[in-house]
Structure 1
Amino acid sequence: MPKKQVITKSALIPTVLISGGAGFVGSHLAESLLENKARVVVLDNFKTGKEIHVKHLLKDPNFALYDVDINEGIPSDIESVDYIFHLAGLEEYLYSKEFINLEALFTNSLGTKNLLDLARRSNGRFLLASTIDVYQGRMSQLDLSEYFGSTKKEENKFSLIEAKRFAEAVVWEYFKKYDLDVRIVRLSEVYGPRMDLSSSGFLGSFLKNIINGSSIEIYGEGTDEEYYLYISDVISGLIKAQFNPKTKGNIYSLAPNDPISALETAYLVKSMADATLSVQFKQSLSTFKNKVSSPDMFNIKDLNWKPKVGLKEGISKTLDSFGYKINTNTFKPNKLVEEKINDQRAPVEKLISLKGLKPEVEFSFTDKSKVEVTKKKERKEGEKQKRIEKPLYIFKKAKGTASKFEGALSSMKGSVRDFKYRVKSDVSASTSILAVILAALLVFIGLPVVGTYVSATKGVSLLSKVQDSVLSLDANNLNKDTLKAYNSFKSARSSLRRTRWLFKLVGKGEEYISYDKLLGSLVYFSKASNYASNAFSPLGLVFETLKPQSTGNLDVESFSQAKLSLSNAEEFLRLAEAETSGVNESLLPEGIREKTLEYENKLSKVQKYMNYMSIVVSDLPSILGSNGERKYIFWFQNNNEIRPTGGFIGSYGVLTLDKGKVKDLAIDDIYNPDGQIDTRNIEVVPPEQITKFLNEDKLYLRNSNWNPDFSKSVKAFDDLYFKVTGDTISGYVALDLEFVKGLLKVTGPIYLAQYNENIGADNLAERAQYYSGFDYQEGSTDKRSFLTVLGSKLLERIFSLEKKDLPRVLSEVQKSFNQRHISMFFSNSQVNSILKEKKYDGGLVDTDQDYLYIVNSNLGGTKANYYVKNKMTYEINSMTRDGLLRANLYLDYDNTADSNAWPGGPYTNYVRVLSQAGSKLTGAKILLNGSEETDIFKDVVIAKEGKYESFETSFKINPKETVRIVFSYDLPVGLSITKEQKKYSLLWQKQPGTVEDEFFFMFNPPFGTTIEAKSDILTLVGESVKVNGIMEKDLNLYLLLK
């Protein structure tokens, strides 16, 4: 609206500014302040605020409304105010966390600063409305794609929580630096008239359900809790906090005394519905378990504030404001979380789930064969009979859980209650006989059925803990849990077999066999897991033994025992698999059937990993130096100067192990041993490309990783290194900066006193390059010193980690293996077979299908790859009736460097395209800066790399230039689409060391064919399929045509 006048403070009337004043909370606050004769100025950009909320206030001469964005500044005609309520950025949180965006985050940073500056200029009071959720927090340790959570709701919630924490920090800084009159009020979930029905946690959605007349939907088990505060109580608290002269510098939390669960809230809302509605349980949309934190309210008494509106009254007023006529019958919600009573519930997760289940009921049995009953005596009518001393069987609910058998066994439990408490004197003989029959049924049917369920779910719960114990190498807990699981499944099978006659009686004999075989398989599986746990004892001790401060040596005998345990484990796994052959999955209920199929699939994987474990246990003592010293070389590859195996070998480290302990770790500049090659005149002929582009007539260690197959590059390095040093090396590990970054994410920044700097994942590359110097042809003491200090400190930090941190370390290692930031090779070790199968050996992946591997090599002596952006486009077409597949490969390079200054500058690249054997090159072109094509077909080198064809060429691009290389070739005839062959698959191998390379793939099927099945990541567009993204790991694609 047009601005009426310049806003300045007045001694006659307090001037109050409300940012976000057209929102749910802000509009109620504005009304209350105007009623108390204050002058109110509202700032709102109407992203979440609504004009209808404040339209009725425009008639008040003491009200002014500004449609502005406080991130861009405060209007110049607002010169000074007495009080500021900063509510902007709060509404985004209350409104179902769906409005969070960059602007909302700025509101809690830039907007907060602008309002604080106004308060400072005005010498006014400032109040920041925050949230009690600042006690919570979540952020990724691995990557930015899921930084605040895996779902949109989690991302919105936790990003705004972080923004609110930042806003509080800004307020604190102003208080500390300028002694500004500020306070912070943290609010719980707010509800009431004008609320958005998609807001305020689960309450808003429940209100929306009953207004729409639909079922009340609870996501998850209904145990999530929230603190709810009615809008009038919120306004009262905000006003008292702002206008109380003793609140400067304080933080207050406005919340009721106790939180309420979603389940309790649902039944409270249900009781107020004007129609019969059901409560439905749905699967939780998030895997994150949100635990509500109790806010600190010790100082709330200073405000003389407490909530006055109860939840039921508040809900009634809220529904009334929406024109909804509520049911006036009284209702007092029970603690439904404890009782788990509900109208309609999702199926209970059944037997074979390997996680998430816990035993719901425990039983205690009296070992009493006889029960003495007092003989009946003559009594007057209505006189009560004496109670039986003890019930035959007592049901005892597991602590914190609710029985899931209440419906199924209600009649049986009724009988137990009758026996447990009282038998009326006038019970007929037939009723007494019926009670005895029911008790017998409980013994012979009810208890075996319940016993089977309880024991099975207990076993499943115990097995769900196995993965965590394996990752943390916790052999003790692993052994205990698997043994308990074995006993539980064994007990479950025994209980089941006591009901065999009942299955036969009702004609369900085949179902019985399937259940029995399934439990038998789980018995053998848990026994195998228990044997395998014994093998983890020596593996768990390896980490402790490796530590420099450890006084123990490697226990070789324990590995021999571990091999025997694994042999037994493999035998029981075979028995477990044999038992599953007797399971007819089609006879099982759907929930159990799905879990059974999942279990059977995992069995084969477990067998494979058990085989891996046997190989590792056999070779690990030798690898660790049980028979004498073993030396291992680490290549520290700089992927900003890309080479075939991941980067230029600027530094290397030699790790010496002896009897399972780290004896030495030496890190050195690669130019030092290379200098010995010249001094001692060691001559090895280099690859011709090295001679041509680097003008070197002999092979140096730094250029020995020319072969894209890591094991072959290792051989070239190893032969040359032996000639230089005479040392025998037992294994090689190639790693790049991305891997070290991953470790630093786990350990946190490491302080290097020698350099007076913290080195973390965010500054590793820049500081390593800074200390390396720019010209170290004759070796660099600085570089060796920096990497030595960092390496030793990083090693110390890793060895100081607790066992609970090991899963994160292993996760980073596995991630780096999968993304080809680590390659590993051992000399004369069976472990190489595992590395090859897992594609961790850096070798050329063996396949008979379509194969693509693009290998770039920087031969310009610069670190230009830091600036070069790569994009790879691969198109497959079939233009002829014979179904021959033809490939077009487009390689785009963009040098974004600003100048020729080192370490950037021109990019000289030698590129190799590896394709399936039998591929035939039909064309090759180059385009510089999008200019006309130049045919380079005759210049392309055609060679062999292993079994594959290699099409090779080179180019040079200067800063701010682009190049496109186009290769066209026919795939082998054996891959053609024919009547007999209607499938296509591709293995696209990622080059080690590459980061954020873009890829695009398209397959255009031959005329007359369509796509019948495809890999999940492929998208059908018309008749073609496509996929694009960032090449983070090898790409495996599959198509079936018809």
Structure 2
Amino acid sequence: MISPRRPSGVSPTSNSMSAAQQILGSANMSESPAQSPTSGERNDRLWDMSSFRHGLPDEGGNSSTAGAPVAGTNSEPEKNDDGTPKPMRGGVSLDTMRSLYGPGTGFGGLRRSNSSVVYPGGPPEFPPVKKLNPLQKKRILVSGGAGFVGSHLVDRLMLMGHDVIAIDNYFTGSKMNLAHWFGHPNFEMIRHDVVDPIMLEVDQIYHLACPASPVHYQANPVKTLKTGFFGTYNMLGLAKRVKARFLLTSTSEVYGDPEEHPQKETYWGHVNCIGPRACYDEGKRVAEALTYSYARQDGVDVRVARIFNTFGPRMNWHDGRVVSNFIVQALKGDDITIYGDGSATRSFQYVHDLVDGLIALMESDYTDPVNLGNPEEYTIKEFADMIVELVNEHRARYGDAGKTSTVTYLPAVADDPQRRKPDTTRAKEVLGWAPQWAAIDGLKETVAYFYQMMHQH
């Protein structure tokens, strides 16, 4: 299992450089004054105290697989001289990221009881960020920045030292996902719906805004289609006006119920354009068409990422996705509900891998669509059994003898794809990207996160 690791030579008590430099790397920082030790040691202290940290097994790291290549990907993660994984893209360590989403750490001092929540007052102490040369520092807009994936992307971009503007209408996002940045001079949060135009001055646009789970996008299919078209139209219009690079987060749903397996970017898809999922599938397909039309007609610099199933901390508990549904049901001791006979397959990637891929694509010169996903493929039944086992193991570490969930089957959902697996050859060749997290390791962290959130007082 994963144990928290720092880059080689990093220690909270090291005097050779500030903790901020140890966490984030010394590049581009030697010319500026060292960060305050109090601020720099914040993440180490929070991580050492975090109940989330102690909820992870094998803390000593004897059987850690963090950073191990995913089976079947032929990837080999970069290593430090002592064999430990190097930091993630942008020079950010895993410990630093965990300190932002671990329960009780992201909004330092937040306290809960059965009937109330106490939010800390006074000026916050922010995580240390890189001090970039002004020529390297970018103004970056993240639409949907308060959502599950968007908030992790904002965290990474902030830690890399950029100025970040997040916009979100909070339909599925939450302010709490980004509360640890409120008031930071490099960060701005705007409540805004992308179906309406917005005027900003930015260098890059990551367009993530759109409900991505069936529960949410089917709740208002017309609004989902408006977000897919008008939201993308407005973000592309902004990119055209300020000459910003634009990245669209598309989806594997553009492949529909695929007849090709695994799915390559050259596959045109097999989509029911009038079915219950069409509002999302076709919304993303028209968003891709609009993106490339702006590129051809107006010279907008575009990137398109087709994202496969992704999971991790900050997932919405009630969004109807497989991972969050199964984990919450297992933690409550409820029956695990599978729609269909459980033989349908999915490929699941951990959110840190996805953020790595999005940043790599934005920084590349490649303009055609790129699949970002984990080629590990599981049947839904296998995945359910895996989560039940992991939840039982996690409970055992706390002496929690909760009820073990059993699997029940419900009628299959209309137009639900039977097989889904990405061909990530293009991402490896043009981005040098491959998933570094095995699904089971990401699940262990996600189970620990949900368990601590459910038991936080």
TM-score, normalization: structure 2?
Answer: 0.61
Residue 124 of structure 1, aligned match among 212, 234, 244:
244
**1:515-526 alignment runs, 5 A limit:** none
Residue 440 of structure 2: aligned partner: 312
Residue 212 of structure 1: how far off its partner (Å): 1.1
Residue 45 of structure 1, aligned match among 166, 169, 193:
169
- Residues 944-987 of structure 1 deviation map (CA, whole Å, 9 limit, x = unaligned): xxxxxxxxxxxxxxxxxxxxxxxxxxxxxxxxxxxxxxxxxxxx
Residue 33 of structure 1: how far off its partner (Å): 0.2
Residue 258 of structure 1: how far off its partner (Å): 3.0
Residue 139 of structure 1: aligned partner: 272
Structure 1's 237 and 289: CA in aligned 2 closer, same or farther, altered over 3 A?
A: closer
Percent of residue pairs bearing the same amino acid type = 29
Residue 81 of structure 1, aligned match among 186, 202, 220:
202
Q: Following the alignment from structure 2 to structure 1, what is the Cα–Cα distance between the partners of residues 209 and 176?
A: 17
Residue 389 of structure 2, aligned match among 262, 267, 271:
271
Residue 176 of structure 1, aligned match among 296, 316, 333:
296
Q: Following the alignment from structure 2 to structure 1, what is the Cα–Cα distance between the partners of residues 303 and 415?
A: 32
Tell me which protein shows more helix as a share of its residues: 1
Residue 240 of structure 1: how far off its partner (Å): 0.6
Residue 107 of structure 1, aligned match among 192, 204, 227:
227
Cα contact 1:18–1:40 (8 A) shared by 2:
yes
**Pair 1:303-2:431 in alignment:** yes
Structure 1's 132 and 207: CA in aligned 2 closer, same or farther, altered over 3 A?
A: same
Amino acid at match of 1:121: R
Q: Following the alignment from structure 1 to structure 2, what is the Cα–Cα distance between the partners of residues 176 and 25?
A: 29
| Greater Cα shift, 200-209 or 174-183 | 200-209
Structure 1's 199 and 230: CA in aligned 2 closer, same or farther, altered over 3 A?
A: farther
Structure 1's 162 and 69: CA in aligned 2 closer, same or farther, altered over 3 A?
A: same
Q: Following the alignment from structure 1 to structure 2, what is the Cα–Cα distance between the partners of residues 281 and 61?
A: 50
Count of paired positions:
298
Residue 293 of structure 1: how far off its partner (Å): 4.1
Residue 13 of structure 1, aligned match among 137, 141, 151:
137
Residue 60 of structure 1: aligned partner: 184
**1:244-643 alignment runs, 5 A limit:** 244=364, 246-247=365-366, 249-272=367-390, 273=392, 274=395, 275=402, 277-286=404-413, 288=415, 290-301=417-428, 302-324=430-452
Amino acid at match of 1:312: I
Cα contact 1:16–1:40 (8 A) shared by 2:
yes
Q: Following the alignment from structure 2 to structure 1, what is the Cα–Cα distance between the partners of residues 414 and 230?
A: 33
Cα contact 2:195–2:226 (8 A) shared by 1:
yes
**1:91-240 alignment runs, 5 A limit:** 91-93=211-213, 97-136=217-256, 137-139=270-272, 147-148=274-275, 155=276, 157-199=277-319, 201-240=321-360
**Pair 1:72-2:196 in alignment:** yes
**Pair 1:241-2:369 in alignment:** no
Structure 1's 173 and 325: CA in aligned 2 closer, same or farther, altered over 3 A?
A: closer
Cα contact 1:96–1:198 (8 A) shared by 2:
no
Q: Following the alignment from structure 2 to structure 1, what is the Cα–Cα distance between the partners of residues 379 and 340?
A: 12
Amino acid at match of 1:54: L
* Helix, strand or coil at the partner of 1:84: strand
Residue 151 of structure 2: aligned partner: 27
Structure 1's 287 and 48: CA in aligned 2 closer, same or farther, altered over 3 A?
A: closer
Q: Following the alignment from structure 1 to structure 2, what is the Cα–Cα distance between the partners of residues 185 and 95?
A: 23
* Helix, strand or coil at the partner of 1:43: strand
Amino acid at match of 1:280: V
Residue 218 of structure 1: how far off its partner (Å): 2.2
- Residues 364-409 of structure 1 deviation map (CA, whole Å, 9 limit, x = unaligned): xxxxxxxxxxxxxxxxxxxxxxxxxxxxxxxxxxxxxxxxxxxxxx
Q: Following the alignment from structure 1 to structure 2, what is the Cα–Cα distance between the partners of residues 257 and 31?
A: 26
* Helix, strand or coil at the partner of 1:268: helix
Indicate the RMSD between aligned Cα atoms, in angstroms: 2.2
Q: Following the alignment from structure 2 to structure 1, what is the Cα–Cα distance between the partners of residues 172 and 416?
A: 28
Residue 295 of structure 1: how far off its partner (Å): 3.4
Q: Following the alignment from structure 1 to structure 2, what is the Cα–Cα distance between the partners of residues 37 and 277?
A: 45
Residue 129 of structure 2: aligned partner: none
- Residues 436-466 of structure 1 deviation map (CA, whole Å, 9 limit, x = unaligned): xxxxxxxxxxxxxxxxxxxxxxxxxxxxxxx
Q: Following the alignment from structure 2 to structure 1, what is the Cα–Cα distance between the partners of residues 239 and 354?
A: 23
Residue 279 of structure 1: how far off its partner (Å): 2.4
Residue 286 of structure 1: how far off its partner (Å): 2.9
Cα contact 1:133–1:293 (8 A) shared by 2:
no
Residue 202 of structure 1: how far off its partner (Å): 2.1
Structure 1's 200 and 242: CA in aligned 2 closer, same or farther, altered over 3 A?
A: farther
Residue 226 of structure 1: how far off its partner (Å): 1.4
Residue 181 of structure 1: how far off its partner (Å): 1.0
Cα contact 1:92–1:98 (8 A) shared by 2:
no
Cα contact 1:184–1:250 (8 A) shared by 2:
yes
Residue 201 of structure 1: how far off its partner (Å): 3.2
Q: Following the alignment from structure 2 to structure 1, what is the Cα–Cα distance between the partners of residues 328 and 357?
A: 27
* Helix, strand or coil at the partner of 1:198: coil
Q: Following the alignment from structure 2 to structure 1, what is the Cα–Cα distance between the partners of residues 207 and 251?
A: 13
**1:741-752 alignment runs, 5 A limit:** none
Greater C-alpha Rg: 1
Kindly indicate whether structure 1 or structure 2 has the higher relative contact order, using CA contacts under 8 Å at least 6 residues apart: 2
Residue 94 of structure 1: how far off its partner (Å): 7.0
Q: Following the alignment from structure 2 to structure 1, what is the Cα–Cα distance between the partners of residues 377 and 168?
A: 32
**1:1022-1037 alignment runs, 5 A limit:** none
Q: Following the alignment from structure 2 to structure 1, what is the Cα–Cα distance between the partners of residues 197 and 417?
A: 36
Cα contact 1:100–1:160 (8 A) shared by 2:
no
Q: Following the alignment from structure 2 to structure 1, what is the Cα–Cα distance between the partners of residues 242 and 317?
A: 38
Amino acid at match of 2:439: L
* Helix, strand or coil at the partner of 1:323: helix
Q: Following the alignment from structure 1 to structure 2, what is the Cα–Cα distance between the partners of residues 234 and 111?
A: 22
Cα contact 1:223–1:262 (8 A) shared by 2:
yes
Q: Following the alignment from structure 1 to structure 2, what is the Cα–Cα distance between the partners of residues 115 and 279?
A: 45
Q: Following the alignment from structure 2 to structure 1, what is the Cα–Cα distance between the partners of residues 301 and 433?
A: 21
* Helix, strand or coil at the partner of 1:183: strand
- Residues 889-916 of structure 1 deviation map (CA, whole Å, 9 limit, x = unaligned): xxxxxxxxxxxxxxxxxxxxxxxxxxxx
Q: Following the alignment from structure 1 to structure 2, what is the Cα–Cα distance between the partners of residues 160 and 325?
A: 30
Q: Following the alignment from structure 1 to structure 2, what is the Cα–Cα distance between the partners of residues 96 and 102?
A: 12
Structure 1's 160 and 325: CA in aligned 2 closer, same or farther, altered over 3 A?
A: closer
Residue 936 of structure 1: aligned partner: none
Amino acid at match of 2:207: H
Q: Which segments of 5 or more consecutive residues in structure 2 lack a partner in the other structure?
A: 1-133, 257-269, 396-401
Q: Following the alignment from structure 1 to structure 2, what is the Cα–Cα distance between the partners of residues 204 and 19?
A: 23
Cα contact 2:221–2:279 (8 A) shared by 1:
no
Q: Following the alignment from structure 1 to structure 2, what is the Cα–Cα distance between the partners of residues 45 and 65?
A: 11
Cα contact 2:310–2:348 (8 A) shared by 1:
yes
Structure 1's 201 and 259: CA in aligned 2 closer, same or farther, altered over 3 A?
A: farther
Residue 20 of structure 2: aligned partner: none
Cα contact 2:376–2:439 (8 A) shared by 1:
no
Q: Following the alignment from structure 1 to structure 2, what is the Cα–Cα distance between the partners of residues 221 and 212?
A: 23
Q: Following the alignment from structure 1 to structure 2, what is the Cα–Cα distance between the partners of residues 94 and 37?
A: 35
* Helix, strand or coil at the partner of 1:210: helix
Residue 99 of structure 1: how far off its partner (Å): 4.2
Residue 569 of structure 1: aligned partner: none
Q: Following the alignment from structure 1 to structure 2, what is the Cα–Cα distance between the partners of residues 200 and 259?
A: 20
Q: Following the alignment from structure 1 to structure 2, what is the Cα–Cα distance between the partners of residues 88 and 18?
A: 8
